[in-house]
A and B are shown apart, each in its own frame.
Chain A
């Protein structure tokens, strides 16, 4: 970590967010570098979700700045962030169970037919969307037979796969995943680990919010530790143990000063 770092893909400085008299973010900093998996951990109420919401446009911070590839950006809603290539897999996945896989992947970004069928009659190009869907799912090695299956008929892990495939397909810069294994069993969690690796292999950096320490230590390149609304440390899995991480998280231990910028 001593060699000069490249420009962060996503960076935040001094984020502050109040909810009434609760201070959810108290001058939080954040960096995500190209191609990495950055885990964000912290106790309940440490401000992880609030941080992630600020970075994905789901809420507007009271103070502080956000930079995307070095450029100052302001997100007013999730669509702003999405337009800039930041995709979020929400904890509850935000899929429509009655719609099929293809329709979920392209929800809000449907492809229209070319020519007059598309421009005048507004017809969707289902064939194109179906082909793309098959490719997105294959890219992440998600083996689901039929893309015209309603998402409601899939298992929890498969649904997660659809949500991740959607994000990976459209994210140009960042994929954010909020507690991707919280609702899954052991076997399905393994599948999600693979998915996250696949996303990184495609060159996209991933922000992973998780309570699952073994998962975090297995996957993350760096770990951002959030406490009382601030980043108190950034550690790497090889230099610190899980016990250290938990100790820093709860304030029982201070991190090495060099990394807590």
Chain B
């Protein structure tokens, strides 16, 4: 029974230290956090402008939208799914919200609610196709990506501006010390904290992990995996609506062209944050770190005057590194 223990005792001191270090590095979130710290230290030594309250606040501003989308993406990926539609669904939501408020005189609060309902409906559609029709999430969300994109562009092709303040209020700031912080960043953090709490502390959250890990065992444990998956995609859709509202607050317009690379950016954040594409393993706080890593690299390289294509290049390399780590550790576990 205690093979593992017997093993431990027979190990030399060095071996044990090495094992402890490997174990520490393999704890969820440790790798991404170290990567973020090292990158930050590197950029701080390269440019004085990096480590200022104003610049760090800017980094956060730049990751708010993708960071929020990535919360929904994390939920979906934990179930061993993937959501390619989230950027387009977000764009649709933000166009609906702004258009209703500006062009149809709908009270902003109602316009926002309708926008959230539409993004949630898209999520429920994704979830139903995955759970009931049993189609692969990749194909389903590739389809709804195109549907959401087409609907948005059929609905309108031009930018909606002159938004009422009630719809852009999340772009307003308050100051802590010298640093201006937007309400939007607070909203993003709250979304993360709620998701973190729910995933860790509730049955629903544990079932999300279980269904991604072993769907058959989850079903045999008496859990309705159909309902569970639909709820996951639906909640993800709702979160994309919140991201749409944050997008509007940040850009001050409703933009039918927005969000075109947001799906891949959100997947990047999730993967860099250490969540496994195989499902069942990972954490939403890792995703926050992952989103910040992308933000810090873009910002730091920019401050160093490195052309933007190199930023994309670095992000690509990071993703492949993270996925390789995932693949290797998964092979070790199975």
Contact status B204-A122, CB under 8 Å: yes
Q: Which of A188-214 contact B (CB under 8 A)?
A: 191
Contact status A95-B1, CB under 8 Å: no
On chain A, the number of residues with a Cβ less than 8 Å from chain B's Cβ atoms is: 35
Residue from the list A99, A108, A155 in contact with B3, Cβ < 8 A: A155
A98 and B221 in contact (CB under 8 A), knowing A124-B201, A152-B334? no
Complex interface: chain A residues within 8 A of B203 (CB): 110, 112, 122, 124
Contact status A99-B210, CB under 8 Å: yes
A145 and B5 in contact (CB under 8 A), knowing A96-B213, A99-B209, A107-B210? yes
Residue B40 is within 8 A (CB to CB) of chain A in the complex: no
Residue A90 is within 8 A (CB to CB) of chain B in the complex: yes
On A, residues with C-beta under 8 Å from B are: 78-79, 82, 88, 90, 92-99, 103, 107-110, 112, 121-124, 142-145, 150, 152-153, 155, 157-158, 161, 191
A107 and B1 in contact (CB under 8 A), knowing A96-B213, A98-B213, A152-B334? no
Residue from the list A96, A110, A123, A191 in contact with B1, Cβ < 8 A: A191
Q: Which of B188-216 contact A (CB under 8 A)?
A: 201-204, 206-207, 209-210, 212-214, 216
Q: How far is the CB of A79 from chain B (nearest CB, A)?
A: 4
Q: Which of B210-252 contact A (CB under 8 A)?
A: 210, 212-214, 216-218, 220-223
Complex interface: chain A residues within 8 A of B93 (CB): none
Contact status A97-B213, CB under 8 Å: yes
Q: How far is B214's CA from A152's CA once the two chains are assembled, in angstroms?
A: 11
Q: How far is the CB of B262 from chain A (nearest CB, A)?
A: 28
Q: How far is B1's CA from A157's CA once the two chains are assembled, in angstroms?
A: 8
Q: How far is B117's CA from A203's CA once the two chains are assembled, in angstroms?
A: 54
Residue B32 is within 8 A (CB to CB) of chain A in the complex: no
Complex interface: chain B residues within 8 A of A79 (CB): 222
CB-nearest residue of chain B to A83:
B222
Contact status B280-A94, CB under 8 Å: no
Residue from the list A96, A97, A191 in contact with B334, Cβ < 8 A: A97
Q: How far is B222's CA from A88's CA once the two chains are assembled, in angstroms?
A: 12
Complex interface: chain B residues within 8 A of A88 (CB): 220
Complex interface: chain B residues within 8 A of A123 (CB): 201-202
Given A96-B210, A97-B214, A123-B201, 13 extra CB contacts under 8 A: A78-B220, A79-B222, A92-B216, A94-B217, A96-B214, A96-B218, A97-B333, A98-B209, A98-B212, A99-B213, A103-B210, A122-B201, A144-B2
Residue from the list A93, A94, A96, A153 in contact with B209, Cβ < 8 A: A96
Q: Which of B298-334 contact A (CB under 8 A)?
A: 333-334
Residues of A contacting B: mostly: loop
Residue from the list A95, A110, A158, A161 in contact with B206, Cβ < 8 A: A110
A107 and B221 in contact (CB under 8 A), knowing A142-B1, A145-B2? yes
Q: How far is the CB of A247 from chain B (nearest CB, A)?
A: 36
Complex interface: chain A residues within 8 A of B5 (CB): 145
Contact status B202-A96, CB under 8 Å: no
Contact status B221-A108, CB under 8 Å: yes
Q: How far is B224's CA from A79's CA once the two chains are assembled, in angstroms?
A: 10
Complex interface: chain A residues within 8 A of B218 (CB): 96, 107-108
Chain A to chain B contacts (Cβ below 8 Å), 30 pairs: A78-B222, A88-B220, A94-B214, A94-B220, A96-B209, A96-B218, A97-B213, A97-B214, A97-B334, A98-B209, A98-B213, A98-B281, A99-B206, A99-B280, A103-B209, A107-B206, A107-B217, A107-B218, A108-B221, A108-B222, A110-B203, A110-B206, A121-B202, A122-B204, A123-B201, A124-B201, A152-B333, A157-B1, A158-B1, A161-B1
A94 and B221 in contact (CB under 8 A), knowing A112-B203, A123-B202? yes
Contact status B202-A122, CB under 8 Å: yes
Pairs A-B, 5 closest by C-beta atoms: A108-B221, A94-B217, A98-B280, A79-B222, A96-B213
CB-nearest residue of chain B to A108:
B221
CB-nearest residue of chain A to B223:
A108
Contact status B214-A103, CB under 8 Å: no
Contact status B213-A143, CB under 8 Å: no
Give the one of B207, B222, B223, B281 with max A CB within 10 A.
Answer: B222
Contact status B202-A103, CB under 8 Å: no
CB-nearest residue of chain B to A122:
B202
Q: How far is the CB of B211 from chain A (nearest CB, A)?
A: 9
Q: Which of B115-138 contact A (CB under 8 A)?
A: none
Complex interface: chain B residues within 8 A of A78 (CB): 220, 222
Q: How far is B202's CA from A94's CA once the two chains are assembled, in angstroms?
A: 21
CB-nearest residue of chain A to B206:
A103
Q: How far is B197's CA from A123's CA once the two chains are assembled, in angstroms?
A: 9
